[in-house]
Amino acid sequence: MNVLTYRDIMKLLGISKKTTYRILHDPDCPIISSSPYLILEQDLLDFMKAKEQKAKQSQIK
């Protein structure tokens, strides 16, 4: 079970700090702490997959 900081998320996903904070501020994002921001790696990956699937479904409709 890996716990990620916002910097870890930036490296893992190859995204900017602004995009990382946008993800972390999503009300559905399963963070375990907001000071500092911490999230379990598997929770982040599951969350991102769900967001991707939702986006694909909305494009189909």
> 1-43 pLDDT, tens per residue?
899 999 999 999 999 999 999 999 999 999 999 999 999 999 9
Position 60 pLDDT exceeds 70: yes
Position 47 pLDDT exceeds 80: yes
- pLDDT value of position 58: 85
Q: How far is CA 13 from CA 9, 58, 60, in A?
A: 6, 23, 25
- Whole-model pTM: value is 0.84
DSSP 3: E
Element containing residue 4 per DSSP (H, E)? strand 3-4
Residue 51's identity, in one-letter code, is: K
Q: How many CA atoms lie within 13 A of 46 on its CB side?
A: 9
